[in-house]
């Protein structure tokens, strides 16, 4: 079982020892992301993540890279809507080196003006790259629509204007407010001794201090379903259909995982079979879910030629409507359950996956579920649980459609209720016996 120690300054240190491996994944997680930015700060959390690699009082950016390369390991980071993570994967003998690097970056980064100017250009290129990837861009547009008016709507990368305007003083203020001991979790998984990890963490991070981080502002989601089209010069129309999902702590999240698998989680899923295998309408289609503090999002994605987009939307609407009307079978849930258990156990062979789960549970102050406990929760999900969730989430009045590609631009408007057709057909079949 994982072990936890809280340092005197409030930093939480966790470890999960995995037998039979030589590697260790170790990192520092901060409970701050794009949703914690204020007006004018768009993309600042992500820019800071970049700048942590650009030199400290002890190491230049090149020396940081050379130090991790000399171990044969890797050093990386990512920013989400609600968290920022810095992590390394190395052989166990190199864990002190990796942790020293992470501490140096988080405590001693200089955020030099010349490095900041260069890195802002890098992020601007990242924004341009994202805009050239319509599959990614339509998801961002979908989030912006579903979360409109809510902090979760903020794009992680920010905008060109906001990124260009960030200063070194902005970075120092943001780091001083959010990168404080109470907001940090150090976690490691793999070939790790908890006592040694705590000793190293205390030596390297024990001198950190800072105020209590600002309390995250949570608010209900004011969602208005609709249909949005954004014109872009692409070969295909990229489509997302869906709406609000479940918050992170919702006990129905295990049913949500199975429903996601049934809808678009693999080659046997409803959408893959109907859109690709049976009709040849798409090459790529899948479903997706994400959960946050007070709400979440679910949706399905597909890409097709412009002349076929309405047919694709009709098929998606019909499939969601039929599932909402009770069209999920016991065997669908059984197959999704076995898929979930298998994919979970395979993922947990990866120390990076294990440490991410461990840190996430602590970051959100939620109970950590062991692999056995996770399997038990999955086993408890019934077909009635999945049907009830489909009935709630796939109700036509909750669904939005967001399209990107060679289509006439549409401002938000009520969605065409294709899903209702599925419900009507299902009801008619039941009436006929």
User: Which residues are identified as catalytic?
Assistant: 49
- CA within 13 Å, CB half, 208: 30
CA distances from 274 to 138, 191, 311, 317 (A): 22, 45, 11, 12
Angle formed at CA 207 by CA 204 and CA 209, multiple of 5 degrees: 130
Q: How far, in Å, CA of 317 to CA of 321, rounded?
A: 6
Copy the structure tokens of residue 180.
């404080």
Nearest to 264 by CA among 234, 284, 294, 279: 284
* Cβ(90)–Cβ(98) below 8 Å: yes
* Cβ(311)–Cβ(281) below 8 Å: yes
* Cβ(146)–Cβ(243) below 8 Å: yes
Interior/surface letters 202-238, b for 16+ CB within 10 angstroms, e for the rest? bebbeebebeebeeeeeeebebebbbbbbebebebbb
- Which alpha helices (H) appear in 223-300, and where do they start and end? 253-264, 270-271
CA distances from 12 to 23, 98, 190, 213 (A): 22, 18, 18, 15
Altogether, the residues listed in the chain come to a count of 433
210-214: list long-range contacts, CB under 8 Å, 24+ apart. Answer: 210/176, 210/179, 210/180, 210/181, 210/182, 211/177, 211/180, 212/180, 212/182, 213/31, 213/32, 213/177, 213/178, 213/180, 213/182, 213/183, 214/36, 214/177, 214/178
Copy the structure tokens of residue 239.
């489509």
């Amino acid at each position: 079982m994982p072990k936890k120690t809280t340092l005197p300054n409030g930093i939480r240190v966790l470890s999960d020892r995995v037998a039979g491996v030589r590697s260790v994944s170790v990192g520092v997680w901060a409970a701050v992301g794009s949703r914690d930015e204020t007006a004018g700060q768009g993309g600042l959390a992500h820019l800071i993540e970049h700048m942590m690699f650009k030199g400290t009082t002890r190491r230049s950016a090149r020396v940081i890279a050379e130090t991790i390369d000399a171990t044969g390991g890797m050093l990386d980071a990512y920013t989400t809507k609600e968290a920022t993570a810095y992590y390394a994967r190395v052989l166990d003998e190199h864990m002190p080196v990796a942790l020293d690097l992470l501490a140096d970056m988080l405590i001693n980064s200089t955020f030099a003006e010349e490095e900041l100017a260069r890195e802002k250009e890098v992020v601007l290129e990242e924004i341009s790259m994202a805009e050239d990837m319509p599959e990614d861009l339509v998801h961002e547009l979908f989030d912006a629509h579903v979360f409109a008016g809510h902090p979760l709507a903020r794009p992680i990368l920010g905008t060109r204007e906001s990124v260009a305007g960030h200063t070194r003083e902005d970075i120092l203020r943001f780091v001083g407010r959010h990168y404080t001991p109470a907001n940090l979790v150090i976690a490691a998984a793999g070939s790790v001794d908890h006592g040694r990890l705590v000793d190293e963490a205390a030596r390297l991070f024990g001198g950190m201090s800072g105020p209590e981080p600002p309390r995250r502002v949570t608010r209900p989601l004011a969602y208005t379903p609709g249909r949005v089209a954004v014109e872009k010069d692409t070969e295909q129309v990229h489509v997302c259909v869906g709406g609000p999902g479940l918050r992170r702590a919702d006990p129905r999240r295990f049913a949500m995982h199975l429903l996601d698998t049934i809808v678009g989680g693999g080659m046997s899923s409803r959408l893959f079979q109907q859109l690709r295998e049976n009709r040849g309408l798409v090459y790529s289609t899948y479903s997706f879910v994400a959960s946050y503090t007070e709400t979440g999002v679910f949706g399905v994605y597909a890409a097709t030629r412009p002349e076929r987009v309405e047919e694709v939307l009709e098929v998606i609407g019909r499939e969601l409507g039929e599932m909402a009307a009770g069209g999920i079978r016991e065997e669908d849930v059984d197959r999704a359950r076995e898929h979930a258990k298998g994919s979970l156990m395979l993922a947990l062979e990866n120390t990076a996956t294990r440490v991410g789960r461990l840190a996430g549970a602590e970051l959100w102050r939620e109970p950590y579920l062991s692999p056995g406990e996770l399997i038990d929760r999955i086993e408890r999900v019934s077909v009635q649980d999945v049907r009830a969730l489909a009935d709630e989430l796939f109700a036509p009045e909750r669904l939005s459609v967001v399209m990107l590609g060679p289509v006439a631009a549409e401002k938000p408007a009520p969605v065409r209720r294709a899903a209702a057709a599925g419900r009507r057909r299902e009801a008619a079949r039941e009436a006929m016996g």
